[in-house]
């Protein structure tokens, strides 16, 4: 055992007693704000969500058009690569399945792109079949800008850096390509249950 | 809470940088590949919460990414594509 | 000493708490003895690392508040934040004789070099006074009587850190003026400034831009950004303004 600071306990954390908490994670009750850059503030009148790349035809929705689509309320556990997990978070959003209806593609991967330039890559399979949403509300309230509002990608079965804040679209790709954190060493896939935090894990 | 509260100066990354480089980098000057602005790294905008996947140093003039430092998985990975050049004083032989 | 303080490879050192001083109800100074301490420059900081019994670690940076001295000791002044993880331990639980892991000195940008000239303008919000205090203590210890003005914003008089020492330094007729502004509560008969630091206050307190002051601004991010922006708008040279943002809550 190395150095121990007498009497130091740290933030309240229940280390992995729960089968709902992946390895190496601890539970938190707050919702930490992590930031890689300034918070974008795109006016809703200028906001749009686009599906482009390896598709026959691009699709685009304005904010009002997105909000007119059928949406779902979901309750999910979320897991951040910086080791905190939060259970039973509630969101409202439009399923990616809804957005991809009628989209013809042979692509196997997507790159989410966002205001401020953030990107993250995912297999297409991981954003369809009821696994991902464009979320515009959290905990019954419109999603705050510090947490990615007006809308963020929500892909709770992967580490939360894949749930890109301030999302503006998905670019379909034939081959996998690293997004922002993936370029700097984070795992291309990011399964919390296999502790795929960094490339090579 | 937005960047007006979370944002730090590059100076706060001095410890992390000093794990990688021996010369002190926050006093070093760099040129932004995005807008050409030149200034000390310590004066630029740093996004590096205590809990963060990595440190992102952005140009104070244009918010373009200058440098990304990820210390994780037993490695340091440094992204420096945002700097055209980096310049530091030659302070002579180490003491 | 100056050269090594900027180029020494960082290692984690074990420090021992040799004194604890309550500065205000929420703020405590830790005096640490650090065997092998290589010395520091005013404005530099240290990283402190805490380890819980299960191996969980938390790390934070703290400005060194003491002047450089040859006695292998340094002082950190910590404000206890209600929702903090590290500060309640350092400014609360920590006892004399306890040990801390720290590394430093760190920082080459927010450092006071007396040869850079003056006059000196120091602007502090809350615990942002800590690195500026290292500068004032060094200024006093080394007899550098560069004309200096400190504008220090605190919520109330009770929360002014180092109040008595600042009064003493200002009374020494060594070219130092200390100007307090209290933002939330002022005692009866308060003749000092009140309210947040704004452009008008800076215009009246700061040296004129033609004097080319060297300026250090430290405190919560919103205060630092607002002050730096105001100083530039008042005509001061951006390259003579050095800032240290403490993040949302100031430390």
Query: How many residue pairs bridge chain B and chain C with CB atoms within 8 Å of each other?
Result: 91
Three-state DSSP string of chain C: CHHHHHHCCCCCEEEEEEEEEEEECCEEEEEEECCCCCCCCCCCEEEEEEECCCCCEEEEEEEECCCCCCCCEEEEEEECCCCCCCHHHHHHHCCCCCEEEEEEEECCCCCCCHHHCCCEEEEEEHHHHHHHHHHHHHHHHCCCCCCEEEEEEECCHHHCCCHHHHHHHHHCCCCEEEEEEECCCCCCCCCCEECCCCHHHHHHHCCCHHHCCEEEEEECHHHHHHHHHHHHHCCCCHHHEEEEECCCCCC
What are the beta bridge partners of residue C51?
Answer: C57
pLDDT per residue of chain A (201 residues) written in tens, 0 to 9: 689 999 999 877 765 567 899 998 888 888 888 889 989 999 999 999 999 999 999 999 999 999 999 999 999 999 999 989 999 999 999 999 999 999 999 999 999 999 999 999 999 999 999 999 999 999 999 999 999 999 999 999 999 999 999 999 999 999 999 999 999 999 999 999 999 999 988
Contacts with A8 from chain C: Cβ below 8 Å: 50-52, 58, 89, 93
DSSP A198: B
Sign of CA dihedral B82, B87, B91, B92: positive
Per DSSP, what are the bridge partners of residue C58?
Answer: C50
User: How high is the pLDDT of residue C5?
Assistant: 56
- The reply to whether residue B9 touches residue C243, judged by beta carbons under 8 angstroms, is yes
Domain C2-106 has CATH 3.40.50.300: no
How far is the C-alpha of C50 from the C-alpha of C100, rounded, in Å? 7
pLDDT band of C1, cuts 50, 70, 90: very low
> Could you check whether the bond before residue C74 is cis, i.e. omega within 30 degrees of 0?
no
Query: What's the average model confidence in pLDDT over C26-32?
Result: 97
C98 touches chain A (CB under 8 A): yes
Q: What is the CATH number of domain C114-245?
A: 3.40.50.80
Chain B positions touching A185 (Cβ under 8 A) are: 70, 72-73, 75, 77
Q: Which of C53, C85, C89 is the closest to A4 by Cβ?
A: C53
Show me where the domains of chain A are located.
Answer: 26-30+43-194
CATH topology for A26-30+43-194 is: Sulfite Oxidase; Chain A, domain 2 (3.90.420)
CA dist A18 to A21, A26, A32, A157, A163, Å?
A: 5, 10, 20, 16, 23
- pLDDT for B73: 83
The answer to whether the CB atoms of B77 and A185 lie below 8 A apart is: yes
Q: DSSP alpha helices (H): ranges in A29-146?
A: 63-68, 96-100
Question: Using one digit for the tens of pLDDT, what is the confidence trace for C105-122?
Answer: 999 999 999 888 889 999
- Asked if B56 and B46 touch (Cβ cutoff 8 Å), the reply is yes
* More confident: C22 or C54: C22
Which among A4, A13, A15 has the least Cβ separation from residue C51?
A4
Measured between CB atoms, does B22 come within 8 Å of chain C? yes
Helix (H, G, I), strand (E, B) or coil at A97: helix
Crossing angle of the two packed helices C129-141 and C163-171, in degrees rounded to 10: 40
Q: Domain ranges in chain C?
A: 2-106, 114-245
pLDDT tens, C220-242?
999 999 999 999 999 999 999 99
pLDDT for B52: 78
R_g (Cα) of chain C, nearest Å: 18
Interface test with B, best of C109, C128, C243 (most B CBs within 10 A): C109
Cα dihedral A96, A102, A107, A110, rounded to 10, equals -20
pLDDT, residue C130, reads 98
Q: Tell me the sheet residues that pair with A141.
A: A138
Which tokens hold the place of A164? 């890109």
Q: Inter-chain contact C56–A13, Cβ cutoff 8 Å?
A: yes
Q: What is the ipTM of this complex?
A: 0.88
Domain spans, chain B: 3-87
For B3-59, write each residue's pLDDT tens digit: 567 789 999 999 999 888 888 899 999 999 999 999 999 999 999 977 679 999 999
Give yes or no on whether C2-106 and C114-245 have one common fold: no
Give the closest-approach CA distance of A84 to chain C in angstroms. Answer: 12
Q: Does B45 touch chain C (CB under 8 A)?
A: no
Q: Which residues of chain C lie closer than 8 angstroms to A13, CB-CB?
A: 56
Decide if C116 contacts C64 (C-beta within 8 A): no
Confidence at residue B95, expressed as pLDDT on a 0 to 100 scale:
46
């Amino acid at each position: 055992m190395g150095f121990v600071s007498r009497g130091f306990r740290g933030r309240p954390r229940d280390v992995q007693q729960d089968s709902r908490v992946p390895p190496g994670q601890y539970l938190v009750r707050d919702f930490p704000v992590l930031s890689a850059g300034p918070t974008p503030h795109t006016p809703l009148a200028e906001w749009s969500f686009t599906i482009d790349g390896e598709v026959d035809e691009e699709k685009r929705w304005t904010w009002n058009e997105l909000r007119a689509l059928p949406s779902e309320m979901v309750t999910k556990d979320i897991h951040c690569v910086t080791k905190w997990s939060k259970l039973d978070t509630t969101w409202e959003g439009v399923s990616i399945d809804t957005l991809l209806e009628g989209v013809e593609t042979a692509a196997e991967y997507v790159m989410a792109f966002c205001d401020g330039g953030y990107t993250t890559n995912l297999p297409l399979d991981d954003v369809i079949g009821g696994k991902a949403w464009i979320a515009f509300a959290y905990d019954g309230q419109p999603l705050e800008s510090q947490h990615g509002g007006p809308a963020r990608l929500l892909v709770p079965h992967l580490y939360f850096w894949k749930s890109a804040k301030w999302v503006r679209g998905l670019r379909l790709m034939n081959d996998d390509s690293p997004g922002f954190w993936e370029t700097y060493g984070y795992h291309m896939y990011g399964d919390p249950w296999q502790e795929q935090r960094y490339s090579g894990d | 809470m937005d960047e007006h509260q979370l944002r730090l100066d590059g100076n706060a990354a001095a410890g992390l940088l000093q794990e990688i480089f021996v010369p002190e980098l926050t006093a070093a000057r760099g040129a932004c590949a995005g807008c050409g602005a030149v200034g000390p790294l310590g004066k630029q905008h740093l996004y590096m919460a205590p809990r963060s996947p990595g440190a992102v140093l952005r140009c104070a003039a244009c918010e373009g990414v200058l440098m990304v430092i990820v210390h994780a998985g037993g490695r340091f990975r440094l992204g420096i594509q945002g700097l055209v050049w980096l310049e530091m004083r030659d302070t002579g032989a180490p003491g | 000493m100056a050269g090594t303080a900027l180029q020494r490879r960082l290692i984690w050192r074990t420090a021992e708490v040799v004194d604890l001083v309550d500065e205000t109800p929420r703020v405590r100074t830790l005096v640490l003895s650090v065997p092998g301490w290589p010395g520091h420059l005013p404005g530099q900081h240290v990283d402190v690392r805490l380890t819980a019994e299960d191996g969980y670690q938390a790390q934070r940076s703290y400005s060194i508040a003491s002047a450089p001295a040859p006695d292998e000791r340094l002082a950190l002044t910590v404000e206890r934040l209600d929702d903090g993880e590290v500060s309640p331990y350092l400014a609360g639980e920590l006892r004399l004789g306890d040990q801390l892991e720290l590394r430093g000195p760190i920082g080459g940008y927010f450092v006071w070099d007396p040869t850079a000239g003056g006059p000196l303008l120091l602007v502090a919000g809350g615990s942002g006074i800590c690195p500026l205090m290292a500068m004032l203590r060094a200024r006093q210890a080394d007899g550098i009587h560069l004309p200096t003005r400190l504008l220090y914003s605190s919520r109330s008089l009770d929360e002014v850190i180092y109040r008595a020492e600042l009064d003493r330094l200002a009374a020494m007729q060594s070219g130092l003026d200390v100007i307090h502004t209290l933002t939330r509560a002022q005692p009866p008969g308060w003749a000092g400034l009140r309210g947040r630091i704004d452009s008008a206050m800076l215009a009246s307190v700061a040296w004129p831009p033609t004097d080319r002051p060297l300026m250090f601004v430290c405190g919560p991010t919103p205060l630092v950004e607002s002050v730096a922006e105001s100083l530039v708008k008042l005509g001061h040279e951006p390259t003579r303004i050095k800032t240290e943002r403490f993040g949302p809550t100031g430390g």
